[in-house]
Amino acid sequence: MLKLIVSIFFALLASTATAQSADAVFVNGKVLVGDDRFTASQALAVNEGRVLAVGTNPEIRKLAGRTTRLIDLQGRTVIPGLIDSHMHAIRAALSFATEVNWIGTASLEEALGRVREAAKRAKPGGWLIVAGGWTEQQFREKRRPTQAELEAVADGHPVYVQWFYAWAMLTQPALDALKVKDDADLPPSLKLERSADGKLTGAVNGPAIAALFSRLPTPNFAEQVDGTKKFFRELNRLGLTGLVDPGGFNMSPEAYQALFKVWRDGQLTMRVSYSLFSQKGGKELEEFKELAQMTPMGFGDAMLKFNGIGERVTFGMYNNDNPTEEQKNQLYVAGKWAAERGMTLTQHWSNDASVPHLLDVFERVNREIPIAPLRWSIAHLNDASDASLARMKALGVAWTVQNAMYFEGERFIAERGASAARRAPPVTSALRSGLHIGAGTDALRVMSYNPFVALQWLLDGRTVNGAALRGPEELPTRAEALRLFTLGSAWTDHTEAKRGSLEKGKLADLAVLSKDYLKVPVGEIGGIESLLTMVGGKIVYAAGPYEKLSP
């Protein structure tokens, strides 16, 4: 009997030890926990998709069992998985497998080379589309492509190249395919560009480029699914494990089906929170009521969930610096409806001089239903004043800040002057005010999706051309900038208690970096990549010394 009791006792001990064993341990590195104290440790253990412990090498090694995967960091840095608080990723992913990507190209020659290579792979008559995420300032030549240059490398394929939301260059086969011969053939407010001698250049100018883009052929469903997987893996390569998508133009319910399929198939490698962006002018609230009645706030799971409405809630309050009282009331009605249902709301706003109109509406809603618990936010607002930040703080409204000035800084200086640029945007002032801030990129049409480029810009305030904008008083520390891309972004979709740092019990979302984020020169941060990215304890990307661990 005694022998039986003893054997049971030791069996229980063995069982307990096995239960405590980690699925994976990372040792011999620098683990940046990303908590409020910005703790750094040597090693980390992961079990059942969560952080089991962070500590010294000996402490963490004790948690390894016979089946534990041991990952030697060899001095490398581990950070919490990055979260982009404002990326139009669902739309970008749909065509990622079929578009030509100019992100990161250093010259127009290199960019044209990518079009040439894409032409070799394309189907007969297939379109070559560059959908954005670039600026001529990144090129050594400091100019955009001409129609002749594109036709020289396209081998007869129709080519469409978009610059932000204001310009596009089309080759003649592209214009012919769209049946565009004069301005009357374009969406309203767009015009064909002409040279000094009156000849068409192939370029189209105007604020409604999205309407022209919508006329382009779209990838089939299989290509959309493929693009979604490939785009999210590309984001994983850059240490991203989550994003908050504010919707966007041309995003009908059908546009979400590829994402939903990847999610249903259990193949999502990013945690995605998505908002509804109004598509029907004058019927915005009807649209929201129709689409959201079966998707209550937070509906979904740990990988995909519904996150409210935005960034165009109503047409009349989108990019409108002089809204009428009727337009403000339309936003109030939609905002109150969302607040009554506990929904998060994010609103695009560009100009501090007019943002009081928006804040007036928020305050009106807040007098009836407190919005602080709902995590409402304002996106962009690069010239935010201290007064506006104070009103946002009083309401509990967050600010999602993007690195638009990395591409557009020179233009901002030309229009507003160097003095205004010194606090464009006022990141440190906002941090000191206690405002909740999430960092992001606003990719793909207007910016690169690379979070390390955005982190570098947060830290040095320099444009892609090297021009200095923000003064040192508005440059955050490296710890502060990283937390904006982790805990700050997690706050915007109510998940900061579950992710955003590598504290015990939180989701094991992390990235092993190619360079030490804390020590590498600031000007090299934009070149950092992830060598291993993990989401919920599952390796979703691995390269270099960890390539054998690639899924």
Instruction: Quote the percentage of the chain above a pLDDT of 90.
Output: 94
> Does residue 470 belong to any structural domain of this protein?
yes
Among the candidates 213, 239, 262, a domain finishes at 213
Instruction: Identify whether residues 307 and 443 lie together within a single domain.
Output: yes
Question: What's phi and psi for 316, nearest 5 deg?
Answer: -65, -15
pLDDT of 19: 53
pLDDT of 3: 53
Instruction: Identify whether residues 209 and 293 lie together within a single domain.
Output: no
Instruction: Identify whether residues 184 and 304 lie together within a single domain.
Output: no
CATH number at residue 281: 3.20.20.140
Instruction: Identify whether residues 207 and 281 lie together within a single domain.
Output: no
Segment 88-110 shows an average pLDDT of 95
- CA dihedral (436, 440, 442, 443) in degrees, to 10, reads -160
151-158 contacts at long range (C-beta below 8 A, 24 or more positions apart): 152/112, 153/112, 153/113, 153/115, 153/116, 153/119, 154/115, 154/116, 154/119, 154/128, 155/116, 155/119, 155/120, 157/119, 157/122, 157/125, 157/126, 157/127, 157/128, 158/125, 158/127, 158/128
Instruction: Identify whether residues 322 and 201 lie together within a single domain.
Output: no
Among the candidates 480, 499, 518, a domain finishes at 499
Most confident of 4-8, 129-133, 210-214, 338-342: 338-342
pLDDT grade for 250, boundaries at 50, 70 and 90: confident
- The model's pLDDT over 259-301, given as tens digits with 9 standing for 90+, comes to 999 999 999 999 999 999 999 999 999 999 999 988 999 999 9
Determine the Cα–Cα distance for residues 31 and 39; give it in Å rounded to an integer.
8
Q: Are residues 297 and 342 in contact, defined by beta-carbon separation less than 8 angstroms?
A: yes
Q: For residue 208, how many other CB atoms are within 10 A of its CB?
A: 17
Helices (H), 369-426: 386-395, 405-416, 418-421
> Does residue 347 belong to any structural domain of this protein?
yes
> Does residue 482 belong to any structural domain of this protein?
yes
pTM of the model: 0.94
Among the candidates 213, 242, 267, a domain finishes at 213
Instruction: Identify whether residues 331 and 418 lie together within a single domain.
Output: yes
91 has a pLDDT exceeding 70: yes
First to last CA, the chain: 49
> Does residue 260 belong to any structural domain of this protein?
no
332 has a pLDDT exceeding 80: yes
What is the rounded radius of gyration, in angstroms, for the C-alpha atoms of the chain?
A: 25
Instruction: Identify whether residues 179 and 325 lie together within a single domain.
Output: no
Instruction: Identify whether residues 196 and 335 lie together within a single domain.
Output: no
Domain count of the chain? 2
pLDDT of 208: 81
- The model's pLDDT over 4-32, given as tens digits with 9 standing for 90+, comes to 444 544 444 444 444 569 999 999 999 99
> Does residue 418 belong to any structural domain of this protein?
yes
Question: What's phi and psi for 22, nearest 5 deg?
Answer: -80, 150
pLDDT of 71: 98
Instruction: Identify whether residues 184 and 315 lie together within a single domain.
Output: no
Q: Which residue range(s) make up the domain with 378?
A: 277-499
Instruction: Identify whether residues 419 and 495 lie together within a single domain.
Output: yes
325 has a pLDDT exceeding 70: yes
Instruction: Identify whether residues 177 and 290 lie together within a single domain.
Output: no
- Report strand pairing: 200-205 vs 167-170: antiparallel
> Does residue 316 belong to any structural domain of this protein?
yes
> Residue 78: CB partners within 8 Å, gap ≥ 6?
26, 29, 30, 31, 32, 44, 502, 510, 511, 512, 513
> Does residue 66 belong to any structural domain of this protein?
no
Q: For residue 394, how many other CB atoms are within 10 A of its CB?
A: 12
- The model's pLDDT over 32-62, given as tens digits with 9 standing for 90+, comes to 999 999 999 999 999 999 999 999 999 999 9
CATH number at residue 152: 3.10.310.70
Handedness of CA 533, 539, 541, 542 (dihedral sign): positive
Lowest model confidence (mean pLDDT) among 61-65, 207-211, 367-371, 396-400: 207-211
H/E segment holding residue 142: none
Instruction: Identify whether residues 336 and 425 lie together within a single domain.
Output: yes
Mean pLDDT value across the chain: 95
H/E segment holding residue 377: strand 377-380
> Does residue 1 belong to any structural domain of this protein?
no
